[in-house]
């Protein structure tokens, strides 16, 4: 006779809740950052909304009843200042979500030193700084979560934006090291790697034809929304993911698991298998 399972069943909805917790969102002013601020707020968290643009920071903070703060997160003194102010105003820092990042498009052989340095600053330097400045405070407070927005460009080739891809790959490596070194202090570190996502910037830059062609290349048949990335960041910030650290969650509609030979349809594949079977 089988033994009945008497393991306690947790309140899964409660594990998603963030009541009484406080988070910093870097790059909160628009797109993924704005959606993430709303996601955290809806689950009960207090949100410290950081952006370089004062108007954007203030607008998002007003939407989520949060605190607006303006900083250049590639500068050590400004990141140290924002972490200290977040702790002062909220009482403690339970986590952060770092959204900041942008690509410059250029042939690999034409990248100059200024662009290379800029690319690593806008993708990686702020991650290093906020990890240290907020991490020290989370360690002292007994734990927390770190979530970074990476990119599928760090997992594959990144043609015409190779510097961006290299920096995002570095970010994912940084997350792994954070996870191991900070685990003893009850700090988890993870990343989200978006694929094609219709941020406000991408919406403005792409033609309708380009958007349609991109959607056709995605197994789910659509580009991602900024809310999709916010949802992943929320999951990784909550106790629903309390046994997950050092991981990168890919949110790309299935592109990264596609069969690589895109010109081969199912009829071609079946015909090929028949020919191979009958040639032996």
The whole-number average pLDDT for the span 55-72 is: 98
**Count of all residues that appear for the chain in the document:** 280
pLDDT of 255 above 80: yes
pLDDT, tens digit, for every residue of 82-115?
999 999 999 999 999 999 999 999 999 999 999 9
In 3D space, the residue among 144, 147, 134, 129 whose CA is nearest the CA of residue 32 turns out to be: 147
CB-based burial of residue 130 (10 Å sphere; 0-12 exposed, 13-18 middle, 19+ buried)? buried
Q: What is the pLDDT of residue 99?
A: 97
Overall average pLDDT of the 233-260 stretch: 96
CA distance 46 to 248: 25
* Rounded mean pLDDT, 235-247: 98
Q: What is the pLDDT of residues 148-184, one digit of tens each?
A: 999 999 999 999 999 999 999 999 999 999 999 999 9
The string of pLDDT tens digits covering residues 220-240 is 999 999 999 999 999 999 999
Q: Would you give the DSSP letter of residue 197?
A: B
Alpha helices in the chain (DSSP H): 12-16, 31-42, 54-63, 76-90, 113-120, 126-141, 162-182, 200-205, 208-216, 226-237, 266-277
Give residue 5's pLDDT.
95
Residue 273 pLDDT grade (very low, low, confident, very high; cuts 50, 70, 90): very low
pLDDT at 272 over 60: no
Does pLDDT of 277 surpass 60?
no
Position 263 pLDDT exceeds 70:
no
Answer whether residue 276 shows pLDDT above 90: no
- Give the pLDDT of residue 124: 98
Measured CA to CA, the distance from residue 272 to residue 249 in angstroms comes to 35
CATH code for the domain defined by 17-256: 3.40.50.720
Say what the pLDDT of residue 280 is: 46
In 94-123, which positions are buried (b, 16+ CB within 10 angstroms) versus exposed (e)? bbbbbbbbebeebeeeeeeeeebebbbbbb
Confidence of residue 274 (pLDDT cuts 50, 70, 90): very low
Per-residue pLDDT, 207 = 85
Q: What share of the chain has pLDDT > 90, as a percent?
A: 85
Q: How much is the pLDDT for 165?
A: 98
Q: Where are the domains of the chain?
A: 17-256
CB 155 within 8 A of CB 195: no
Q: Does the annotation mark 164 as catalytic?
A: yes
* 192: its two tokens: 């989200």
Give residue 260's pLDDT: 81
The yes-or-no verdict on residue 119 having pLDDT over 80 is: yes
Out of 12, 128, 164, 261, which one is annotated catalytic?
Answer: 164
Tell me the two tokens of residue 139. 């360690």
Query: Residues near 17 by Cβ (< 8 Å), separated by ≥ 6?
Result: 43, 44, 238
Quote the CA–CA distance of 43 and 251 in Å, as a whole number: 21
Six-digit token string for 154: 């760090």
| Mean pLDDT, all residues of the chain | 93
Do 218 and 161 contact (CB within 8 A), yes or no?
A: no
- Report the percent of the chain where pLDDT is more than 70: 93
């Amino acid at each position: 006779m089988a033994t009945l399972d008497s393991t306690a069943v947790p309140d899964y909805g409660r594990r998603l809740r963030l009541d009484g917790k406080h988070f910093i969102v870097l790059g909160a002013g628009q797109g993924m950052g704005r959606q993430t601020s709303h996601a955290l707020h809806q689950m009960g968290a207090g949100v410290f909304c950081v952006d370089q643009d004062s108007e954007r920071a203030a607008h998002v903070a007003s939407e989520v009843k949060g605190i607006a703060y303006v900083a250049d997160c590639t500068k050590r003194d400004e990141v140290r200042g924002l972490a200290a102010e977040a702790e002062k105003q909220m009482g403690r820092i339970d986590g952060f979500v770092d959204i900041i990042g942008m690509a410059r498009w250029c042939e690999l052989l034409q990248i100059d030193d200024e662009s290379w340095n800029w690319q690593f600053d806008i993708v990686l330097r702020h991650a290093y700084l906020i990890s240290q400045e907020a991490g020290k405070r989370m360690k002292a407070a007994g734990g927390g979560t770190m979530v970074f927005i990476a990119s599928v460009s760090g997992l594959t080739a990144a043609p015409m934006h190779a510097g961006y891809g290299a920096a995002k790959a570095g970010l994912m490596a940084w997350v792994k090291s954070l996870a191991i070194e900070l685990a003893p202090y009850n700090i988890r570190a993870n990343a989200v790697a978006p694929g094609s996502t219709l941020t406000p910037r991408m919406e403005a830059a792409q033609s309708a034809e380009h958007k349609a062609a991109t959607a056709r290349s995605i197994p789910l048949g659509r580009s991602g929304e900024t809310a999709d990335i916010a949802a992943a960041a929320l999951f990784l910030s909550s106790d629903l993911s309390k046994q997950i650290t050092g991981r990168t969650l890919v949110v790309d509609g299935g592109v990264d698991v596609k069969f690589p030979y895109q010109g081969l349809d199912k009829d071609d594949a079946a015909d090929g298998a028949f020919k191979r079977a009958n040639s032996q």
